[in-house]
Amino acid sequence: MSLVKVELGARSYDIVIGNRIALSHLPENARGGKRLFVFDDKTYELYAGAFAERNEFCFSFGRGEADKRFDKMITICQAAIANHLDRSGELVAVGGGVTGDMTGFAAAIYLRGINFIQMPTTLLAMVDSSVGGKTAVDLPEGKNLVGVFHQPDLVLIDTEFLRTLPEKELHCGVAEVVKMAIGFDEVFFKRLEEMGGKLSKVESFMPDAEDIIRRSCELKADVVRRDETETVSGVRELLNFGHTFGHAMETLSDFSLSHGEGVAIGMVLAGRAAMMRNMWGEAEQMRMIKLLKAAGLPVDVPKTMDFKDILEVMRRDKKNRGGKITLILPRRIGELTVVRDFSDQELEQVWQSAVQGSYHD
């Protein structure tokens, strides 16, 4: 088992990582109150039985991202009322990022805030969304537009959940792992390079899962410690590496491109942008591309997409400051920088160079 501490003063918490620990290492509710376990339909079907056997209250809010809505989040609060949770009660999210974001939001506002445990079941949630206290729901106008910061009291990561994870979802998580390595830790990047194709299949990923998740969580915890609420300019923002172009492509594909796939191609585009500014070399770009491909992720832009549409979506990005499109660019493996002075023409050049050159070899 591994332990990572998220140091946030009074809001500090532990991330505990291990195999088959979901039931055995869930501590008693220290406040003595009742607990409600929150799932989405899929994780409910797969895993609620094991919790129900122990007489825990289990509830599914719905289908996942399509139900990541305010009204569905309120049904979690209503289930808490129905099960008589008072202020000493606790919500436990058992699912991917959607379940975690919605349950965290409900825990933040139910009775003006109760305790909350993250038990992530996707790799993305294990390495990214369950750590850091961002909670949110979507609006018809866009994703994650309404939410609050509410840190969990514990993140309990049981790698055994990964055994049922579809490969595409594994790849999504690996894209964020690669992001953390390029952003913050060259030694970790080399470790991933050594794993290569083992990153692309659940079975070959499993032996290294705990170690990879631990390092990713340490890196994310450090960013969160330095900038808990994304107010220290440019610190937590760095986690958006690959996400500016990535999110735009994901949106324009009508979500046929997964988040992780968008981020993978987005990192390649950010690499191209950095090369234009002579900040990043061809050799490093090729190392990044080789690793992404080995992990089963795409690296080429969808050629059917139009740059004008991409630009429009990027302009609407809520992470922009003062109307300027923010790019997070790599300087070297292990270091990123925030850049806000790319003109539309330069962005178009980046896009067109990617449309023309592909990385098939």
Q: Where does this chain bind ligand NAD (CB under 6 A)? A: 40, 42-43, 46, 64-65, 68, 95-99, 101, 121-122, 124-125, 128-129, 132, 134, 143-144, 161, 164-165, 169, 172
Give the nearest distance from C-beta 123 to ligand NAD in angstroms: 8
Of 129 and 151, nearer to ligand NAD (C-beta) is 129
Given a contact cutoff of 8 angstroms between Cβ atoms, the answer to whether 165 and 122 are in contact is: yes
- Catalytic site positions: 112, 134, 176, 220, 230, 236, 240, 243, 247, 259
CA torsion through residues 249, 317, 219, 117, sign: negative
Of 129 and 285, nearer to ligand NAD (C-beta) is 129
In order, the DSSP letters of 299-346 are -S--TTS-HHHHHHHHHH-TT-BTTBPPEEEEEETTEEEEE----HHH
Of 25 and 63, nearer to ligand NAD (C-beta) is 63
Given a contact cutoff of 8 angstroms between Cβ atoms, the answer to whether 230 and 243 are in contact is: no
Given a contact cutoff of 8 angstroms between Cβ atoms, the answer to whether 57 and 80 are in contact is: no
Give the nearest distance from C-beta 102 to ligand NAD in angstroms: 9
Gap between the Cα atoms of 41 and 67, Å rounded:
10
CA torsion through residues 98, 104, 107, 113, sign: negative
**Percentage helix, strand, coil, to 5, in the chain?**
50, 15, 30
Question: Where are the extended beta strands (E) located within 205-309?
Answer: none
Of 39 and 342, nearer to ligand NAD (C-beta) is 39
Give the nearest distance from C-beta 67 to ligand NAD in angstroms: 10
Of 179 and 272, nearer to ligand NAD (C-beta) is 179
- Apex 194 CA angle, 123 and 359, nearest 5: 80
Residue 339 CB contacts under 8 Å (≥ 6 apart), including other chains: 273, 277, 326, 327, 328, 329
Gap between the Cα atoms of 244 and 248, Å rounded:
7
Gap between the Cα atoms of 310 and 354, Å rounded:
13
Report the residue number whose CB is nearest to ligand NAD. Answer: 97
Of 36 and 127, nearer to ligand NAD (C-beta) is 127
